Every structure is written in structure tokens, then in C-alpha cells.
Amino acid sequence: MRPDILNPLFAETETLDGVGPKMARPLEKLGLTRVKDIAYHLPERFVTRRAIASLEDASEGEQVIVALTTTEHRAPYNPGRGPYRVMAQDEAGNICALTYFGRASYTAKKQLPVGEKRWVAGRLDRYGDTLQIVHPDHVEKDSAAHLARMNEPVYALSEGLTQPRLSGLVAQALEKLPDLPEWIEPGQFSKSDWPSWRDAIHLAHKDMHGPARDRLAYDELLANSLALLLVRADGRRRRGAALKGDGKLRDRLALPFEMTGAQKRSIAEIEGDLQQEAPMLRLLQGDVGSGKTVVALNAMLIAVEAGRQAALLAPTEILARQHFETLQAMAAPTGAEIALLTGRAKGREREGLLMGLMSGAIDILVGTHAIFQDSVAYKDLGLVVIDEQHRFGVAQRLSLAAKGKRAPHTLAMTATPIPRSLTLAQYGEMDVSRLDELPPGRQAIDTRVVAQDRIEDVVAGVERHLASGQQAYWVCPMVRDSEVDDIAAAEARYAALKERFGDDIVLVHGQLRPEVKDAAMERFASGAAKLLVATTVIEVGVDVPSATLMVIEQAERFGLAQLHQLRGRVGRGSEKSVCLLLRGSELSETGKKRLALMRETQDGFRIAEEDLELRGGGELLGTRQSGEAAFRIADLEQVQKLLPAAHADARLLIDRDGGLTSERGEAARVLLYLFERDWGVQLLRGG
């Protein structure tokens, strides 16, 4: 049960003044559903603005407040594509464009009637020959000179929210903060000169106060480490069962290739773990295409040889299906019974599956999260394999897997090459096997960066590629914060390409019904369709060796890890593969370097290390684009700086007070609930 002291923080945002269903929606888009979310919605930056009488008084890049009179509204030629511009002028007649992307134009239409004067606050830039302010922070009717004050916080917004509205909500949330017991170890606390939790949140909204931000980041890291350690301790406490395979199934595998040294080594490491009673907790890290599937199959066959069952959890239906088909084909000579269970299995089919699992007729179950529903009972689950681990709330899944009467062994697999310094933060104290050797015969992927405005050439290139009988992917980006817009963009691209390529082309995105999606994937995998247009849903796992061209639009908007994964969809067969990264016209220096890095290397581990360097602090861990950032508060720099101490602190606490019953232990429980790592606490009940 959540400690009562946290109740005001977990109240819904609608309990705040001025928040009704209408405002709740844009808040939800930002992930703000409870009061605590708003309190923790820290400013992205702070601005100091200057009030100016004339645009000539300001330099580019400066934050200003200026009175402007609207002269004209210019909608984009192509609705939904390109920005909406409002032209305005200052008293001296200098012209400035106010630029809006996406549906922010609705706000612009309301706020800036032609012929009227408004006070506009924002960052003055230049676009071509014109001065512009992109998404002004404030547009006010009456003199807004008061905005020219020090350090105004700037919050991340979504459509339907404004800075003043959000600031108002933050102020209300801050008033509701309780005093929480201190969970940080006293030595650490005084050494770092940190404020209390409550003060830290207040301070973090006022300026870029270093110690306050660090303390809040430390809290998050501590909570994460504690939860991971609790899972680990729980695993040690539970007795598993040693799985000793006699090799009789594995001997019958007829693989069309020789295993790489790295694959053999990883299988040996896994086999060693499985022979112990303590449940295995191992991470298999291997770049896209490094051959993780066959390693997983070997591990699962060991479980089956030992008379137990194995389950493989995939992040999406598409992947589950593909794994199922690959495994079934590979394992056919072994006679192991493999089944597929997704959320879509209904009625008799589902009943049949469930019976087979309970009776033990099914040896290996492949599926999406549906395989861990309460209604799914195994006869004797010995091993759980989790594919693309980073897609799930890391250790949460591990605790899920720990449901059986005897704790099953767990093998997690990821293709996201995580820098060494961050493995601990992401995965806690898991043992790691690395597939650092690609199967032989892989050709380097020819990666090129191409300006987006050469898209006609690119389409012509795709046409030649398809005409030669090969297949291609076309990936549309996640553009703004709105999934609807992204899908609209993908649909528009699909429509345009379809005119050119006719029925040879399919579309896949997250909002399609699963049957439609699968049918499209199948047409592509079978070669019936030549071009697959997709949003990032194809990011993980999909394997079509005859697809040898990958086009990625607005590549600069992707995280490097994501680009690397996407690119890994090609270069899987023996044919030469090409990856075209289309970039927009306004590319930052870092953006250029990042794309150059992609061109230069295909080594995922190196990309991860260098991306970390290039991005530096200030950016969240994980890819925000896919909504799966591991931490909400701590940025990369803080993770590197503070994680070692937080982890050591967590370890010490668990060693001394594993049940979290001391005064500090109780405070730590509050922390775990606050960061919703309470599945860590649940594990304490049993022990």
C-alpha cells in the first residue's frame, strides 16, 4: 500500500484549479496525470528577456519582448506540411515572422488578429532574409514589460497549453508538497550540501540550481538501484532449479551455418548459469544481426531437454510472429512443440493453447506480454527469454517473470548497444554476455547523408532499386509530440509513393489494426510487396534479408541508437545494401557530427559511446522519441556523475536492512513509491 503521506502527490491533475477534462488531455500528452508529475515537470531552461522598442535593437538569438502589429496570416501551401506564418511589424515598420508548426497555428489564429498590436515574447532568429520568432512563449494584449524579468522558467508544452497556464499549475502543485522523510544516507546528504526533497523541488523551478537538480536526480537513481537490487535479492532468495540439458535436442538442430565464436561463448555462459540453482539473470547484448535468436533457441532447448518449459517475450506482435516462424523452422528437426500466443488469440484457439501449456504439451511459448497474464498458467516454466529488453520497463518485466512456483531463469536480450558506463543504470547487476562478432559474410552498409530537398532524386533511386527486383524500406519520422501528425505524415508519404509505385507498396504504423499490419508485413516479407513505408514500428527485429535499401526521412530527429537499429534492417543478406539518411536544412553542428558518425561506422557499441560524448549532459537517457526514457529527471551527465554513489548507497542499505524496516528503510519505501518502483516493494512481502 502506498504510504498516506504521498496521497496529495498522487491526486489527479484534475484536482487542481482550472483543470477540467479539456486541459487534462494536453497534460496527459506530456505524461502529467498526477500532481506529482506536475511538480516534477522541471523547466527545460530559463530565459532572461529584454524589452525592446524596435527589432533593430536586438541581435539574433536574443530573448526579447516586443510590441508587434499583425499584418498577414500565411498558411502553408500544403496544409499540415510546413509551418504557419504570421507576418507582423514593430512600430518602426521592421518585419518579423511568427512561425508555428503543427496545430499550434490554431492558437496563432486566435491570438494574433490582423491589424492589432500584441506583446510578443520569444527568441529572435533569422530565417533566410526575415527575422522570425518560432512558437513565441507569450502573446499578450496588454503591456507585458513585466515579462522582462530574470529567469522565467520555460516548460515543455503540448498543444493546448501555454507557459503561463503551466506555470500556474506548477505553483499550485508546489503548494501541495508534503514534507517527506529523508531517504538519502546522512553522510552523502551533508557532504553534497543538498536541500531537503521539498526545498529541492521548489528550487529546481526557480533557477538551474545545481545541487537541487542533482539531489532530485540522485533520488531517481537511488530508487532505480534499490528496485533493481530488490529484484536481484528476491531472485537469490527464491530457489530455482538447475536445468541440465543432455544435448539430445540441440544435437538435432540442423543449422544452415556455423555458429560464431561469440555465439558459442554466450551459449556456454548461459548453460553454465542454467546448471546453478540460483535463477540466472543474464543480459545478452548483441548488435542487430549478430544472431541472438539462435542463442535464445539453444537456451530454450536446454530447458526443454531438462523437461521444463520456456517462454519468449517479444515487444510487438510483428516480432512475436516472426520469432515464432523462425524458431519453428529452425527447431523442426528437434520435435520441440512451439506455440504462439498474442493478445489476439481468442476463443477456442486460446483455450487450446492454455490447455497445452498447462498439460506440458507445449514446450516453448512465444508471444507478447499476453504470455504473462494471470490466466496463463504453465506446467513448469523453467526459462524466460525477453527480447528487446529496453522496450519494457526493465526490471519490472524481470519481476513479472518471477511468478512461477520455482523462479524461472531469465535471459534478457537487447540490440541497443549501451555504453558500458550506463549498463548498470539500465540493467542493474545483471551478468552480461556480448555478441561482439557479426556472422561472416556480412557486407558493410553503404550509408549516405542526403539533403531532404533532393527527395525527387531519392524516389528515382528507389524506383531503379525496385526495378532491379530488390526491396526497400522507407521510414517516416516521429515528428512532433503528436502521434496523429506523424501517422498523417506517413500516410501522406505512402499516398505519394503509391502513385508512383502502384500496388507494390505497403504501409505499416502503430495505429493500424494488427491484422492489417500483419497482412502488410507478410506481403513484404514474402516479396509480394517491394516497398514498405513505416513509422518506427519496424525498428526492432524485423528480418527480411532481400530488402537492401533503407531510406530514413529527417534522420536528424532520431536518436543514434534508433538510427543504428533501423539501418540494421538492411545488410542482412549477401547483397550490397544502402542506407540513405535524409536530413532537413536546419542541422546543428552536433546534428551534423552525429549523422557523420553513422556514415563512418557500423559498430553499435562505438556509436553508443560516441553519441554519449556528442550529446553530453542535458539530454535524457534513452530515446525520448520512442517514449522510453529510462529516467525522467536524471540526465546523462548526472547518471554518470551520481550513479556510482547512488548504487553503492542502495547496496549498503539493502545489505543492512534488506526488509526496509528501519527508519531509513521506511523512508526508502516512500521513495520507491514516489518513483513508482513499488514493484520493488511488493517483492518484500514474501521475504
Residue among 43, 38, 41, 9 at smallest CA distance from 24: 38
Q: List 550's β-bridge partners, or say none.
A: 473, 579
569 binds ligand ADP (CB under 6 A): no
Query: Mask of contacts with ligand ADP, 243-262, x by CB under 6 A?
Result: --------------x-xx--
What is the nearest approach in angstroms of ligand ADP to the Cβ of residue 336?
18
Residue 439 binds what, of Mg ion, ligand ADP, none (CB under 5 to 8 Å, by partner type)?
ligand ADP
- Contacts of residue 286, Cβ cutoff 8 Å, sequence gap at least 6: 262, 266, 292, 295, 413, 415, 434, 435, 436
How long is the chain? 687
Work out what residue 136 binds among Mg ion, ligand ADP, none; the CB cut-off runs from 5 to 8 Å by kind.
none
**Residue 292 CB, nearest distance to Mg ion (Å)?**
5
Residue 168 contact, options Mg ion, ligand ADP, none, Cβ 5-8 Å cut-off depending on partner type:
none
Alpha-carbon torsion 583, 585, 587, 589, what sign? positive
Give the CA distances from residue 315 to residues 312, 398, 428, 435, 471, in Å, rounded to whole numbers and listed in that order: 10, 14, 21, 21, 25
Sketch the per residue contact string, 518 through 547, with ligand ADP: x for CB under 6 A, - otherwise: -------------------------x----
Instruction: Give the residue, chosen from 83, 153, 195, 289, that forms a contact with ligand ADP under the rule CB under 6 A.
Output: 289
Site string for ligand ADP, 387-426 (x = CB under 6 A): ----------------------------x-----------
Q: In the bound complex, what is the minimum distance in angstroms from residue 252's beta carbon to ligand ADP? A: 17
The full DSSP string for 43-97 is -SEEE--EE-SSGGGS-TT-EEEEEEEEEEEE--SSTTSS-EEEEEE-TT--EEE
Partner in contact with 257, chosen from ligand ADP, Mg ion, none, beta carbon below 5 to 8 Å by kind: ligand ADP
Q: Which residues contact 204 (CB under 8 A, 6 or more apart)?
A: 42, 43, 212, 213, 216
List the one residue from 172, 293, 471, 535 that touches ligand ADP (CB under 6 A): 293
259 vs 512 by CB, closer to ligand ADP = 259
Q: Which is nearer to Mg ion, 19 or 385 (CB)?
A: 385
Which one, 329 or 648, has the nearer CB to ligand ADP? 329
From candidates 3, 307, 393, 439, binder to ligand ADP by CB under 6 A: 439
Least Cβ distance, residue 293 to Mg ion (angstroms)? 5
Q: How far is CA 273 from CA 63, 283, 379, 380, 435, in A?
A: 59, 12, 22, 18, 17
Q: In the range 522-541, which residues lie near Mg ion by CB under 5 A? A: 541
Say how far apart CA 611 and CA 591 lie, in whole Å: 11
Compute the least distance from the CB of residue 297 to ligand ADP, in Å. Answer: 9
For residue 195, how many other CB atoms are within 10 A of its CB? 18
What type of residue sits at position 32?
L
Q: Which of Mg ion, ligand ADP, none is residue 291 near (CB under 5 to 8 Å by kind)?
A: ligand ADP
**Partner that binds at residue 602, options ligand ADP, Mg ion, none, CB closer than 5 to 8 Å by kind:** none
Strands 117-127 and 138-140: antiparallel
Q: Which residues contact 367 (CB under 8 A, 6 or more apart)?
A: 311, 312, 313, 314, 320, 340, 341, 342
Residue 235 interacts with Mg ion (CB under 5 A): yes or no: no
Distances (CA, A) of 561 to 580, 594, 653: 16, 11, 34
* Closer by beta carbon to Mg ion, 234 or else 539: 539
Least CB distance to Mg ion at residue 296 (A): 8
Q: Footprint of Mg ion on this chain (CB under 5 A)?
A: 541
Q: Footprint of ligand ADP on this chain (CB under 6 A)?
A: 257, 259-260, 263, 286, 288-294, 415, 439, 543, 572
